[in-house]
Structure 1
Amino acid sequence: MKRGKNYSGDSPGKKGHGPRSLLQALKGQRQEVAKAKIEVRRLNGRIRELEDELSRRRLQLEVLGEGSEHLPAIAESLQEGLLITDVHDVVLYMNNRMEELTGYRACELVGEKAIRLLLPSDQWETQLERNKKRVEGMVERYEIEIKRKDGNFIWLEISAAPFRNVDGKIVGTLGAHTDITLRKQLEEQLFQAQKMEGIGQLTTGIAHNFNNILMGSMGNLELALMDAPEVIKDYLQEAFDANQEAADLIKELMIFSRRTDVEKPLIDVGPIIKDVAEFCKVTFDRKIEIRLLNSADQSQVYGNVGQLKQMLLNFCINARDAVEAVANGGHAPRIELGVETACLGDEDDAKYASIPAGDYIRIYVGDNGVGMDDLTQGHIFEPFFTTKDVGEGAGLGLATVYGIVRQHNAFIEVQSHPGMGSTFEVFLPVAKERRTAPRDGSREEILGGSETILIADDEERIRDAVSSALAKYGYEVLTASDGIECMDVFQVEAKKIDLVLLDVSMPKLSGREVLQKIIEIEAGIKVVIFTGYATDEDDFGNAKAFLQKPLRLPAVLKTVRRVLDM
């Protein structure tokens, strides 16, 4: 090969006709062919889309009743929402009621996949499986929660069946939708109420057993205090006081499940509202300011401490939720509790016109939370009514408050406006008598006797403590550990027995059954009932007295003497 000669493949002076130029031209043609193929595929895809759209349009004509002028009018008059989708879940038709249920207009849903707009993604697969079975002819009814256009969720009951065209071929699904949101809410509220009832029963059982345990401890401490040397009495008294605090707590738990009236002695409201305020300061978010105002010169009423605490705590919990709802509203959250005297009846007390004139103790709980409109205020004392989310409230709090207010012959008023907070006011009638300094009941003289007393209780520690106290004061004591043994003893010693101390809950025969039987044997027998449960005294009409566990031995001794002297 000689230098200087050109072997590039193209002849000198003949550019564009050599092998290199041909290769470049061929490459350009291939690129054009590839572009053309892409365009053909795009056009084919568009053609298929148009064919599908045409099929849907034809199916829509069938759905809308081509040749049946009355079918659309019938569909629009139904109370159920009608939705027709094809086998791919694309919406073909929806009536006006379905628009109301979903919040979407027909033009927004028709042509779109229903599941993508109405259901959370975790339910898509399940719904598509349902649609596949519909092609096989399956008819079903089911409940489902959908998301409306406005973001709210509602529950629907759907009756779904295959939708067929004029040739009888299954081409989609016809669903009739009924709004069952209210029913679902009522079911949930009923469940919550049943749950609360179950908690109440559980509380009662725990309280009964705990009272029996406390009675064994408190009874022996009281026996020890009777004869203890002065050097250890203070220690025993401290131990007894601790037990008494536990007993008071159990008594408050019992109020939760009590269905009968409770004792309402003369009490001072001031310490009660102070205790609730202190409790809220400890348990609520520290950002919430708790204010306590007491301007009453005297605040004595006839009331039940446990119930009034429960009422105030319900108010405070609602106030806490109200201020937390506007925690970022630009002002510090605040709850105010107060007690003051109120004399109603003046002409300027128009807002309290529904309350009879008189002297009252006004206790109130106010907040600077979200407040309530008039519609909400009209329902707040109804059982199961709640503005809280499911699981956050059973709607029984203020209904319980209303019951407590009525039991105390009191009156309740609500002052509230949206965005301006709420104030709940309770007017308790002022007690006519004034309390004097309390006497130390433990130092009162207790009178004994020589009568014979039968004690029937399945708890050995209670039998032992009460027996020892009675024997110490001169009584002759017989004991029984269950209902059958009580009847056996009574049948033998009926003429000798002067009084029966009878527990309500015993094995083999209950206290109620034993009472009926011993009355049949000895109609004039005197019976004192004691129990750790909430008991309707009307069920024990022949009993002379009732004692609530845990029993205080001085109270037992005094009651025994009083009943024997009747």
Structure 2
Amino acid sequence: MVPGCDDQGMEYGMFTYPVQDDHRSLYQELVQVNRTLEQKVQELNRAQQRLMEYRKVFECTRDLIYVFDRDYRYVMANEAYRECRKSRFPDLIGRTLPEVVGEETFARIKPHIDACLAGSELSFEDSHDYLDKGMRDLLVTFSPVYDGDRVERVACLIKDVSERKLLEEQLRQSQKMEAIGTLAGGIAHDFNNILTVIAGYASLIQINGEESEAAAMAGEIVLSVERAAEMTRSLLAFSRKQEVHLDTVDLNLVVAELHKSLTRLISEEVELVVRVAGEELYCLVDRGQLEQVLINLAVNARDAMPRGGVLAISTGVAEPEGEGMPAGRCAVITVSDNGTGMETEVQERVFEPFFTTKDVGKGTGLGLSSSYGIIKKHNGTIRMQSEPGAGTSFSIYLPLSVERPAGERRDAEERPGAGSGTVLLVEDEETVRNMTRLLLERHGYRVLTACNGQEALELFRQDPGSVQLLLSDVIMPRMNGRELCEQVRQLAPGVPVIFMSGYPADVMSEKGICGGGAYLQKPVKPEELLGTLRQALST
């Protein structure tokens, strides 16, 4: 029996037909053909569905896609490409590449096209100046489309990689700045050792000369050392190796003392005018970082006046209003120039990291962005006013402080008193070691010296009871200061320890090589070293 029929007939669709035995095979063939047609229809529907999906991707992607034949005539183009070329679909298809992209562009890319028509798939970088987006970096890929064994068409995919290239450049720039920061940190560390020697010998000259002219000159050397120490602290802060430390300072004094440094930075064609307020302007700031901001602004002003002009820096008091401004009375530092000024588009991006209008190799795009971040960390605000051809003005608003500077300079420092006891001095820098030994001996101490941790440990083991204090550098060959401290404490648990280093304490703490004693950052003032030493021996 055939399914769906009896001896009288068979059903097919809505009809019943008479059936004979020899017709049953024909019926089975028809059923099989029907099933095959249904499968083909389903496959066709699935193919149409996939085609619609491909079409959506083809039309919705932001990448530019087009196809052309061996005569360089457009066969297909997606909406992104048509919009880019400002052409409608009917107007583009059938036209040749030279007509659409221009003879010059076509001549440049034709070798790549011919290589693709020969069977190679290739990618290359190019650029295009768009009417609405300006110059953009592009990655162009040509893929051959075969008809049998012959390439009949070429599919082109154009991807805008401008943002990626910008990120790559920013990454390279940040890596370069990180390397510069590491170098700056190393320079600052070595320079601090030199300053320690200069300050120490200058202090000894003051002690020996008392009221002589040489002692007065040595006092000026000490003041210069303090100024240089501020510069090294700025270098360490730039290298991200030092936390920001806020102190109360007089902004008038900061601006006035920066005058000489700025004179050397700007060209002779630029006139520097500095005006400070008549009243004291005390603010809680990191002096080194604030000076960095002022130097950045001054250098930008100089570059904005290639033919010369006036760079004016002034201080004053204001009560700013508006969103993001500090509340109450603020100190104001204004840096202005009468240079080229900025267009509105540039003003909107001026504080963005890595944004610069300078030529390649002449600017990092970090000066104003870092200045903005520094002022924000000081709970202040920086504002800008500019007009093309009329110059630019930056105003820095910082909250005023009611406290006076704690470290105001005095005309005469108290002479450190004499001490007693044996100090084990460990320092790998010979000049620092010799100066420190001489300073301590002049103030009554017996000094044992070692150039590294192992040598110091051997000296200590010879007579542990004779050493009253360990004064050690931190970074040394063979054995660092922390390791030496641990070994010494095993032999004499109660011995006081003082560490000295050209690196800040937070860096030493992060590296895990400082601990168990007092910490002095080089350059160490002689009176600070002697005071810390006396305090450690008295406890």
Per-residue displacement from partner, 1:316-373 (whole Å, max 9, x unpaired)?
A: 333445566xx8xxxx95543221133x4xxxx532674233x432222234553464
Using a 3 Å threshold, how does the CA distance of structure 1 residues 220 and 425 change in structure 2: closer, same or farther? closer
Alignment of structure 1 residues 328-339 onto 2, 5 Å: 334-339=310-315
The one-letter code matched in structure 1 to 2:291 is K
Q: CA deviation at 1:506?
A: 1.0
463-472 vs 480-489, which moves further: 480-489
The one-letter code matched in structure 2 to 1:364 is T
Match of 2:187 among 206, 217, 222: 206
361-370 vs 292-301, which moves further: 361-370
Q: CA deviation at 1:134?
A: 2.1
Partner of 1:465: 435
Q: CA deviation at 1:397?
A: 2.2
Partner of 1:270: 252
Using a 3 Å threshold, how does the CA distance of structure 1 residues 163 and 259 change in structure 2: closer, same or farther? same
Match of 1:219 among 194, 200, 213: 200
SS of match in other structure, 1:306: helix
Per-residue displacement from partner, 1:371-407 (whole Å, max 9, x unpaired)?
A: 4649954x65554455555544333323322443244
Q: CA deviation at 1:503?
A: 1.5
Q: CA deviation at 1:462?
A: 0.9
The question of 1:455 aligning with 2:425 is answered yes
The one-letter code matched in structure 2 to 1:550 is P
Q: Quick check: 2:283–2:398 contact (8 Å CA) kept in 1?
A: no
Per-residue displacement from partner, 1:459-505 (whole Å, max 9, x unpaired)?
A: 11111111111122122222221233334444555444333222222
Match of 2:317 among 337, 341, 344: 341
Separation (CA, whole Å) in 2 of partners of 1:98 and 1:555: 72
Match of 1:293 among 260, 270, 275: 275
The question of 1:430 aligning with 2:416 is answered no
Partner of 1:161: 143
Partner of 2:322: 351
Q: Quick check: 1:89–1:131 contact (8 Å CA) kept in 2?
A: no
The one-letter code matched in structure 2 to 1:191 is R
Partner of 1:79: 62
Query: Identical aligned pairs, as a percentage?
Result: 27
Using a 3 Å threshold, how does the CA distance of structure 1 residues 78 and 404 change in structure 2: closer, same or farther? closer
SS of match in other structure, 1:162: strand
The one-letter code matched in structure 1 to 2:162 is T
The one-letter code matched in structure 2 to 1:546 is Y
Partner of 2:13: none
Using a 3 Å threshold, how does the CA distance of structure 1 residues 78 and 300 change in structure 2: closer, same or farther? closer
Q: CA deviation at 1:178?
A: 1.5
Separation (CA, whole Å) in 2 of partners of 1:83 and 1:247: 64
Partner of 1:561: 534
Q: CA deviation at 1:314?
A: 1.8
Partner of 1:302: 284
Per-residue displacement from partner, 1:193-221 (whole Å, max 9, x unpaired)?
A: 11111111112212222333444444334
SS of match in other structure, 1:112: helix
Separation (CA, whole Å) in 2 of partners of 1:103 and 1:370: 36
The question of 1:139 aligning with 2:159 is answered no
Q: Quick check: 1:118–1:147 contact (8 Å CA) kept in 2?
A: no
SS of match in other structure, 1:274: helix
The question of 1:111 aligning with 2:97 is answered yes
Separation (CA, whole Å) in 2 of partners of 1:118 and 1:204: 50
Match of 1:152 among 134, 138, 141: 134
The one-letter code matched in structure 1 to 2:321 is A
Q: Quick check: 1:85–1:91 contact (8 Å CA) kept in 2?
A: yes
Separation (CA, whole Å) in 1 of partners of 2:457 and 2:139: 59
Separation (CA, whole Å) in 1 of partners of 2:478 and 2:232: 27
Normalising by the residue count of structure 2, what TM-score does the alignment of the two structures yield? Answer: 0.74
SS of match in other structure, 1:298: coil
Separation (CA, whole Å) in 1 of partners of 2:453 and 2:70: 71
Match of 2:176 among 195, 207, 212: 195
The one-letter code matched in structure 2 to 1:339 is T
The one-letter code matched in structure 1 to 2:78 is N
Q: CA deviation at 1:237?
A: 5.4
Q: Quick check: 2:113–2:142 contact (8 Å CA) kept in 1?
A: no
549-558 vs 197-206, which moves further: 549-558
Match of 1:445 among 415, 419, 422: 415
Q: CA deviation at 1:173?
A: 3.4
Q: Quick check: 1:92–1:111 contact (8 Å CA) kept in 2?
A: no
Q: Quick check: 2:200–2:435 contact (8 Å CA) kept in 1?
A: yes
Q: CA deviation at 1:453?
A: 1.9
Q: Quick check: 1:103–1:150 contact (8 Å CA) kept in 2?
A: no
Partner of 1:34: none
The question of 1:551 aligning with 2:524 is answered yes
Q: Quick check: 1:371–1:422 contact (8 Å CA) kept in 2?
A: no
Match of 2:381 among 401, 412, 431: 412
The one-letter code matched in structure 2 to 1:187 is E
Q: CA deviation at 1:306?
A: 1.8
139-148 vs 497-506, which moves further: 139-148
SS of match in other structure, 1:471: helix
Separation (CA, whole Å) in 2 of partners of 1:385 and 1:252: 23
Per-residue displacement from partner, 1:24-60 (whole Å, max 9, x unpaired)?
A: xxxxxxxxxxxxxxxxxxxxxxxxxxxxxxxxxxxxx
Partner of 1:508: 478
Q: Quick check: 2:482–2:515 contact (8 Å CA) kept in 1?
A: no
Q: Aligned pairs, how many?
A: 478
Q: Quick check: 1:296–1:339 contact (8 Å CA) kept in 2?
A: no
Alignment of structure 1 residues 498-537 onto 2, 5 Å: 498-518=468-488, 524-536=494-506
The one-letter code matched in structure 2 to 1:411 is G
Q: Quick check: 2:128–2:136 contact (8 Å CA) kept in 1?
A: yes
Say what the alpha-carbon RMSD is for the aligned residues.
4.0
Using a 3 Å threshold, how does the CA distance of structure 1 residues 414 and 495 change in structure 2: closer, same or farther? same
Per-residue displacement from partner, 1:383-436 (whole Å, max 9, x unpaired)?
A: 44555555443333233224432443x311424366474433221432423679
Normalising by the residue count of structure 1, what TM-score does the alignment of the two structures yield? Answer: 0.71
270-279 vs 302-311, which moves further: 270-279
Separation (CA, whole Å) in 1 of partners of 2:69 and 2:267: 54
Q: CA deviation at 1:547?
A: 2.5
